[in-house]
Structure 1
Amino acid sequence: MERTHLSPYTNHHHTTTKHHPYSDSGATETCPDDDKWASRLLRECAQAISNKDSGKINHLLWMLNELSSPYGDFDQKLAYYFLQALFCKATDSGQRCYKTLVNVADKSHCFDSARKLILKFQEVSPWTTFGHVASNGAILEAFDGETKLHIIDISNTLCTQWPTLLEALATRSDETPSLKLTVVVTAAMVRSVMKEITSRMEKFARLMGVPFAFNVINGSDRPLGKLTKEELGVEDDEAIAVNCMGALRRVEVEERVDVIRLFGSLNPRVVTVVEEEADFTTSRNDFVKCFEESLRFYTLYFEMLEESFSPTSNERLALERECSRSIVRVLSCDDNHNIGLGDCERREKGNQWCERLNEHFSPVGFSDDVVDDVKALLKRYRTGWSMALDQTNPNSNKGSGILLAWKDEPVVWASAWKP
């Protein structure tokens, strides 16, 4: 196909004035509602790619390129970020494009900017703090009465989850326990800032008066399930908790059973799992179905960002760009398992994770106190957020966890498990 009409790296500077997406196009016989032009054009383009209709692909990509902008209204933004993935899929350039996007982001990645972005996101949205509060509550309850604690943290949120847990341990009515925190890093960009995080965590633990040890393990250069108890520093007299915060989606689907088996071998008091509520696995061999699920999920995410940040927010733009890399990864290169970046994006929904976890664990369910803490957290944010119990697990009358919903659409699933 012709590649001269557009490039995924083009900087667009369109005004936010709405264009009619089907003007002089001949792309469809009926005109869609103006409010839905982006999703309709994107769906039509995805179908054309699936059908290998090169003429229609060229025409729709050209239209999307003309109409989209990362600085425009919601539809223009949605079109822009999905256009890049569709272009890469159509030209079989996803792997090269994704590596370029990651390399560019990596060069500008530093601790201060990453920390400010995460903290600002947590300030305006409970997308990550929901899982932090739920998991911390379950971990603290599982550690009740224990004096030698070890948390194995598999996440990429720069340890923003742990200051509140350290405060809770410092104010425990009985003896202050010791805490060992082992962070397994699964994202390449996070590795570069772990030295600074180590220093800050150790300083905060001293301030809280909690005996503390901090270890970092690189989990991005090999399958996570290949880690051993010895590498993780697990000792027989420790109370173990395994915390997985949005990181298991980076594990290849075929290797997830091995990871869950590893968790079981550690004999943990609790395993907490928090994942975004999207399914990019069952449709992995059907591009149109995978596209539809991606469009559904990321539309919710972009809508949430639009209503949470100001239109000129640099943080919002950074989060959207980060999200766009995930869209490229999901739609245009995720069938290539070994691109060397440890960055799988095959999300699964809570009921799918339950099927895997039920083989080795039983759901704990969150206590009334933890649920109340989560509800109190959501009250700090704008209207539109809610919590629901997930009742999909047939093996437990407690259900399989709790769901964070944005405008009644589930977006994040949190759960706690025991061997």
Structure 2
Amino acid sequence: MQRKTEMEVVDMEYMMELAFSGCSSTSSTTGFGDLAWVDWSPAVDWGHFSVENDFSGLLEHYGLPCTPAAQDWSTNVSPTSTNCPGTPVEEFQPQLPPPIEIERDNNRGLRLVHLLMAAAEALTGANKSSDLARVILARLRELLAEGGATNMERLAEHFTDALQRLLDGVGRHEDQPPNSGEVLEAFQLLQDMSPYVKFGHFTANQAILESVVGERRVHIVDYDIMEGVQWASLMQAMVSQQETPSLAPPPHLRITAVTRLGGSRRSGTTVLDTGRRLAAFAASVGLSFSFGQCRLDADDQLRPAAVKVVKGEAVVLNCALHPPHLPWRSAASIASFLGSAGELGARIVTVVEEAVVVGGSDGSGGFVGSFMEEMKRYSAMWDSLEAGFPMQGKARGVVEKLILGPMIAGSVGRAYRRREESGEEREGWAEWLKEAGFQRIGLSFFNLCQSRLLLGLFNDGYKVDEEGPNKLVLCWKNCRLLSASVWSAPATESPAASCFSW
């Protein structure tokens, strides 16, 4: 028998679809290592429910700019019933760091920040010098090696690594994703510690549910499905509608995962495993479901004709650019995906993305200004995790290494390419969609209330802001972290995705 060529094998995989609508409802969920799928993607009962322009805004999270204001730390403790009459009142005095240690930490934090800004300036400023940047980064590593493990030092280490990657030209396509099982567990930890992941998923899911009411077939084309965390709650919500007599039975749900051409066998298997886990969950709740995948072409472009659309389906495009940032993501591939919405006849397009910073809040442009704002944003994330889970240092360390570290590297890399190579200033994909002719779809009042209820399960420092009728923004105090927006595709018969540029 003649041996199949590699392209024939790719084409076979490209058109393969896993149909699981007939799965038994008794199917067991597939575990990932020691972590069961239902553990990291819990079903949700949907029926219940200016950053300053100087270093102080960045450092105040850690009390670095100056010695904390004097406070009366004494607490009078009344004698208990076991005390003898006349027992003097005891005075509780907590152990505070000596002033000299506080001053040392302040000075170290200021030095780290100034050196990071100097390295960013040396990479892209008017006096650009790779040699100078290399010397500064080496000094940063010396300081970090001498210090302890404070929040500021851990944050500075990740930003130092991100700048080093820019200097060495690393991180575009060469990197391999970390171990999938480890990332999955870290992802679950982040979900437990912060609303960062669920906020975007819940907002997008609610908008999808409201847009497909009464449809018999729903087809979601997902740009980066990862482990499919987002879709368990959507499945449960679709099934719960069956309990309402006035609503039609749940539709058949089909999900198509967009993957990269030429990916490793391991990554392709992971996508299929995600489909199997989703199918098992759909069967367990009694939802008709099918799963498929389509690949980007060699130029990381999505060919709309490659997506199998059945007549009568309500098509939804979902683009959740959540952590961790996979190395194959590129502006070109995202643009081609979003640009295909018109040709695919998408009912709605949901976009979840990091809050994008354009320049400094003081009006300073270029990479240095964006770099400083990214430091402020990620310091807010560090602060939020510390405030909510101060005792879970080990768990936070795992999240920082496998999730936040890659996020910082991706954010710094995009800021560098966006401002220094293209010279364009964009405020994220929401602005791109508006310029490309997409229309805003207003979010419901229920969607807003749901987001606020979600934040109520976490630290009081989180809040949600409305930015226009179609966009919600997750904030920690006054710092924007993440946004979720909903759009309708422009009316056009053949919107060549290649005509859109980033």
TM-score tier (shorter):
0.7 to 0.9
Task: Quote the residue 1:394 is aligned against.
Answer: none
Task: Quote the residue 1:416 is aligned against.
Answer: 486
Q: How does 1:148-167 map to 2 (within 5 A)?
A: 148-167=217-236
Deviation at 1:333, TM superposition (A): 9.0
For 2:194, which of 114, 125, 134 is the aligned residue? 125
Task: Quote the residue 1:223 is aligned against.
Answer: 300
151-160 or 34-43: which moved more?
34-43
Structure 2: distance between partners of 1:18 and 1:320 = 31
SS of residue paired to 2:215? coil
Task: Quote the residue 2:341 is aligned against.
Answer: 263
Deviations 1:267-287 (A, max 9, x none): 22211111111137999x944
Deviation at 1:81, TM superposition (A): 1.4
Q: In 2 relative to 1, CA 20–185 (structure 1 residues): closer, same or farther, beyond 3 Å?
A: farther
The answer (yes or no) to whether the contact 2:430–2:485 under 8 Å persists in 1 is no
Deviations 1:347-390 (A, max 9, x none): 9535x623433533211121011111111111111121100100
Q: In 2 relative to 1, CA 58–297 (structure 1 residues): closer, same or farther, beyond 3 Å?
A: same
Q: In 2 relative to 1, CA 59–377 (structure 1 residues): closer, same or farther, beyond 3 Å?
A: same
Deviation at 1:222, TM superposition (A): 3.7
Task: Quote the residue 2:462 is aligned against.
Answer: 385
Task: Quote the residue 2:383 is aligned against.
Answer: 303
SS of residue paired to 2:312? coil
58-67 or 244-253: which moved more?
244-253
Deviation at 1:98, TM superposition (A): 6.8
For 1:176, which of 244, 250, 254 is the aligned residue? 250
Q: In 2 relative to 1, CA 290–210 (structure 1 residues): closer, same or farther, beyond 3 Å?
A: same
Q: How does 1:13-412 map to 2 (within 5 A)?
A: 35-49=109-123, 50=125, 51-52=127-128, 57=133, 60-68=136-144, 72-89=149-166, 92-95=167-170, 102-103=175-176, 106=178, 109-111=179-181, 113-172=182-241, 173=244, 174-185=248-259, 191-219=268-296, 222-224=299-301, 226-229=302-305, 231-246=306-321, 252-253=330-331, 258-279=336-357, 286-309=366-389, 310=391, 312-314=393-395, 316-329=397-410, 331=412, 349=427, 353-357=430-434, 359-391=436-468, 398=469, 400-412=470-482
Percentage of pairs with the same residue: 22
Taking structure 2 as the reference length, what is the TM-score of the superposition? 0.64
Deviation at 1:43, TM superposition (A): 1.0
Structure 2: distance between partners of 1:62 and 1:140 = 52
Structure 2: distance between partners of 1:366 and 1:143 = 14
The answer (yes or no) to whether the contact 1:276–1:347 under 8 Å persists in 2 is no
Structure 2: distance between partners of 1:161 and 1:120 = 15
Deviations 1:160-184 (A, max 9, x none): 1111111111121321211111122
Structure 1: distance between partners of 2:109 and 2:430 = 35
Q: In 2 relative to 1, CA 161–178 (structure 1 residues): closer, same or farther, beyond 3 Å?
A: same
Q: In 2 relative to 1, CA 219–119 (structure 1 residues): closer, same or farther, beyond 3 Å?
A: farther
SS of residue paired to 1:269? strand
Deviations 1:75-111 (A, max 9, x none): 211221122233344xx4132x7777x34x53xx134
The answer (yes or no) to whether the contact 1:149–1:239 under 8 Å persists in 2 is yes
The answer (yes or no) to whether the contact 1:185–1:220 under 8 Å persists in 2 is no
Unaligned runs of 5+ in 1: 1-15, 24-30, 338-345, 392-397
Return the letter of the residue paired with 1:288: V
Return the letter of the residue paired with 1:369: F
Structure 2: distance between partners of 1:313 and 1:348 = 37
Deviation at 1:308, TM superposition (A): 4.1
Deviations 1:120-156 (A, max 9, x none): 2111111111011111110000010111111111234
Structure 2: distance between partners of 1:347 and 1:151 = 31
The answer (yes or no) to whether the contact 1:37–1:75 under 8 Å persists in 2 is no
Taking structure 1 as the reference length, what is the TM-score of the superposition? 0.75
SS of residue paired to 1:402? strand
The answer (yes or no) to whether the contact 1:181–1:215 under 8 Å persists in 2 is yes
SS of residue paired to 1:375? helix
Structure 1: distance between partners of 2:187 and 2:413 = 27
Structure 2: distance between partners of 1:377 and 1:34 = 37
Deviations 1:183-208 (A, max 9, x none): 22369785452232222111111111
The answer (yes or no) to whether the contact 1:264–1:361 under 8 Å persists in 2 is no
